[in-house]
Amino acid sequence: MEAATAQETERRTSYLELFFDLVFVFAITQVTSLMLAEPTAAGYAKSALVLAMVYWAWSGYAWATNAIDLGQPRLRLGYLAAMGATPAWATLSLSLPTGDAAWVDAFLDGFLALADRHRVALVGGDTTRGPLSVCVTVHGFVEAGRVLRRDGARPGDDVWVTGTLGDAAAALAQWRAGAEIDAGMRRRLDRPTPRVAFGQAIADLAHAGIDVSDGLLADLAHVCDASGVGAVVDVDALPASAALLAQFDIALRRVLQATGGDDYELCFTADPAGRDAILAVSRDIGVDAHRIGHVVAERGVVALADGATWTPPRTGYTHFD
């Protein structure tokens, strides 16, 4: 009986490897067709190639989540959105202790649903036996000279964010507490919306940008460090959903919004002269944008609440703690 189980596991693993081989061949033809059909958008001559990588290991929350819901957040298009790029293709590497074909099928359903929505081709990757982990590299194109980087923030710039902040962190907090998880906030955690169209639309208006993955204050600090500047943020000006306002008191809400992460909204800086143009983009795209602070010459990110300096227990997710 044990030998039969081992053979079945080996067979499923072989099927997964064959699947990725077939995906690679198919995707290369798709990418080639895209480059030939749209040379000005995807051709090497007039565009710059940008890429982003995400490595993700399993956690307790992952085991409490449907595989299909884990697939979408792993395709981190927010990285490309923050650069004003057009997503093009991705590679996906899976490390699994056993060849669970049903789990992988569901995971890929979620992954490919988001990929199809943004015309992203899965061009290859790897599957291997080992600790449970996912590694995704996403590639995209942006017109040469229009890449939105982290090092362009200037003193006097406004600081903006899209959408609302804190819902994903709130859902995770509810799960950790063993409480009922608000359905809307859980969707924000399980299936975040990458702001690809918004990032492309503000590429000529913004000076610097980043997606909010580790927490607003932590990610804004990355922009400030790269730009050699600082920022002042009004924590009470951070946009919140109705569910977050109704279910969390102001003290905890401030922490969730300013430091929680996993929102994948865009945080960017721009000249105050461009406010009307940014709000017009917001209306045209259908994504809210809010001014939450400003850039200063002195380094460091200062958070204010009720007009006074506010110090959170942490600024965001720390990768090696």
If you write DSSP's letter for every residue of 100-169 in order, what string do you get?
Answer: -HHHHHHHHHHHHHHHHHTT-EEEEEEEEESSSEEEEEEEEEEETT----SS---TT-EEEEES--SHHH
206 sits in which H/E element? strand 206-211
- Whether residue 317 is contained in a domain is answered as no
1 C-beta neighbours (distance < 10 Å), count: 5
- Same domain for 165 and 248, yes or no, is yes
208 sits in which H/E element? strand 206-211
The CA distance from 223 to 13, in Å, is 42
- Same domain for 123 and 33, yes or no, is yes
Q: Which comes out higher in pLDDT, residue 141 or 20?
A: 141
Candidates 288, 147, 160; CA nearest to 216 is 160
- Same domain for 68 and 173, yes or no, is no
Work out the average pLDDT over 267-289: 98
Tokens at residue 320, please?
């090696």
Quote the pLDDT of residue 269.
98
- Same domain for 167 and 111, yes or no, is no
- Whether residue 9 is contained in a domain is answered as yes
- Same domain for 197 and 240, yes or no, is yes
- Same domain for 38 and 120, yes or no, is yes
Work out the average pLDDT over 208-216: 95
- Whether residue 149 is contained in a domain is answered as no
Beta bridge partners of 140: 50, 87
Task: Indicate if the pLDDT at residue 77 is higher than 60.
Answer: yes
> By the 8 A CB rule, do 27 and 124 touch?
yes
Which domain range does residue 11 map to?
Answer: 2-143
- Same domain for 139 and 180, yes or no, is no
**Range picked from 12-16, 100-104, 127-131, 256-260 for highest mean pLDDT:** 256-260
- Same domain for 96 and 214, yes or no, is no
- Whether residue 148 is contained in a domain is answered as no
- Same domain for 271 and 236, yes or no, is yes
Q: What is the pLDDT of residues 146-198, one digit of tens each?
A: 899 999 999 999 999 999 999 999 999 999 999 999 999 999 998 889 999 99
Classify 182 as helix, strand or coil.
Answer: coil
CATH number at 162 reads 3.90.650.10
> By the 8 A CB rule, do 185 and 174 touch?
yes
- Whether residue 264 is contained in a domain is answered as yes
Tokens 């200063």 sit on residue:
296
Question: Is the full-model pTM beyond 0.95?
Answer: no
- Same domain for 106 and 191, yes or no, is no
How many domains is the chain partitioned into structurally?
2
Q: Which comes out higher in pLDDT, residue 52 or 87?
A: 87
